[in-house]
Amino acid sequence: MDHSIQDWISERVDRELARPTRIHPLPELGKYKVFIKREDELSSGISGSKLRKYASLLPFLRERSAQEVALIGGPNSNNLLGLAQALREIGVRAWFFVREPGDRQLRGNSLLLDMLADPSSFKRIERSQWENVLDKARDFVEERKRAGRRIFLVPEGAAMFESLAGSLTLAQDVLRNERESGIRFRNLFVDSGTGMSAMGLILGLAALDPPSSRRRVYITLIAGDEGRFAETMEDYQRRLVQEIDSPRPKLPQIAFLEPPIAPAFGSVNESLFAATREVARTEGLLMDPVYSVKHYMSMRETVSMLPANEASLFIYNGSSLGLAGFQDRLVGQRMQAK
Ligand SMILES: *Cc1c(COP(=O)(O)O)cnc(C)c1O
């Protein structure tokens, strides 16, 4: 069984994209035996968890000779930004179904996306129409198909079964880190938007390392909720077990964490910027506030309560690029602190 899931992943994944990443102790939280996995180092312009998804999504699109892709996302989406780069590289035209921003000023990801994409490729969706975005994108895809184009729809966060093989490489690489370091991580901390990356970790550990049923995976819910997460993971697990024709492995224990600061998705406040500065100074890490600093703060609350002999791994999926939209706020925070 172990062998066939390895093969299933290998047949679908471009290993040049899903490369190994290192781990090291966190300078400040090392006292709690917390290590960090540097998924941010996978790419300078694409957040790490996204590149793992693309490691199987892009080969899928290439194999189907895709000419165009319709993408859905918010104005600051890391996924739109990542795919704008990755699809250009393989010569696939992207259409962006983007939610109209609350703040019209271009900054951070919305500015970077504006630099990457042709203005004619944007399909701007009013906030009041956002609930219909999937229907609109589907209609558009059908229209392009009738015009003879080979076009695919990629939902928000590239959360689709074709991204799962890539996401499973996170579990493979954690197991490699463990083999090479001789450390076994009892607790793993991962952040979740659509949940795809966290599911790749959980399903991968379960299938590749059965004693993982004794591990705990802590999921910081940056977006979404527990019910949705459980439902989606059940669906992916069923399809995966069918495809590799193996018994269903026992999963690690799962606990959900709510960020202690600005828990609503996309929201920011002064405490979050203060925490962003604190993480920079104490850990030497320039983390994106919206995912990674919230994730770090929920992990920090939790590790101080864990048994002292247990090692923990913090998965840093983000990218320092996520700081770009908040420069004024971070300057403001400095004034306040002094
Ligand atoms: C997109 C993203 C996530 C969420 O990934 P999902 O697979 O959608 O759960 C987490 N962290 C960062 C930094 C991201 O960019």
Of all atoms in ligand 1, which is nearest to the CA of residue 196?
7
Integer angstrom CA distances of residue 307 from 33, 97, 132, 183, 266: 10, 47, 47, 16, 33
Per-residue pLDDT tens digits for 63-102: 999 999 999 999 999 999 999 999 999 999 999 999 999 8
**Looking at ligand 1, which atom is closest to the CA of residue 295?**
11
Whole-number Å distance, alpha carbon 198 to ligand 1 midpoint, is: 9
Pocket test for ligand 1, best of 38, 50, 163, 321 (most atoms within 8 A of CB): 50
Are β-strands 23-25 and 68-73 bridged in parallel, bridged antiparallel, or unpaired?
unpaired
Q: Name the residue at shortest CA distance from atom 14 of ligand 1.
A: 318
Give me the pLDDT at residue 104, please. Answer: 86
Spatial distance between the Cα atoms of 237 and 120, rounded to a whole number of angstroms: 39
Q: Which residue in 147, 99, 150 sits closest to 122, CA to CA?
A: 99
User: Closest residue (by CA) to atom 5 of ligand 1?
Assistant: 193
Q: Which residue has the tokens 């579990």?
A: 171
Do 313 and 187 contact (CB within 8 A), yes or no? Answer: yes
Q: What is the mean pLDDT of residues 40-54?
A: 95
Which residues contact residue 174 at a Cβ distance below 8 angstroms, ignoring those fewer than 6 apart? 37, 185, 188, 201, 205, 313
Ligand 1 pocket by Cβ (under 6 Å):
47, 49-50, 78-79, 157, 159, 191-198, 288, 291-292, 317-318
21, 40, 42, 49: which to mutate for ligand 1, most atoms within 8 A of CB? 49
pTM metric for this prediction: 0.96
Cross-strand partners of 220: 191, 257
d(CA 280, CA 21): 21
Residue nearest ligand 1's atom 12 by CA: 318
Q: What is the mean pLDDT of residues 2-7?
A: 83
Nearest to 17 by CA among 71, 58, 63, 62: 58
Closest CA to 92 of 155, 150, 15: 150
Ligand 1 centroid to 236 CA: how many Å?
Answer: 17
User: Tens digits of per-residue pLDDT, 263-316?
Assistant: 999 999 999 999 999 999 999 999 999 999 999 999 999 999 999 999 999 999
Structure tokens that stand for 334 in this block? 């400095």
Cβ atoms of residues 67 and 93 within 8 Å: yes
- The residue whose two tokens read 């990542």 is 82
Q: What is the mean pLDDT of residues 148-170?
A: 98
Q: Can you tell me the distance from the alpha carbon of 338 to that of 335, in angstroms, rounded to the nearest whole number?
A: 6
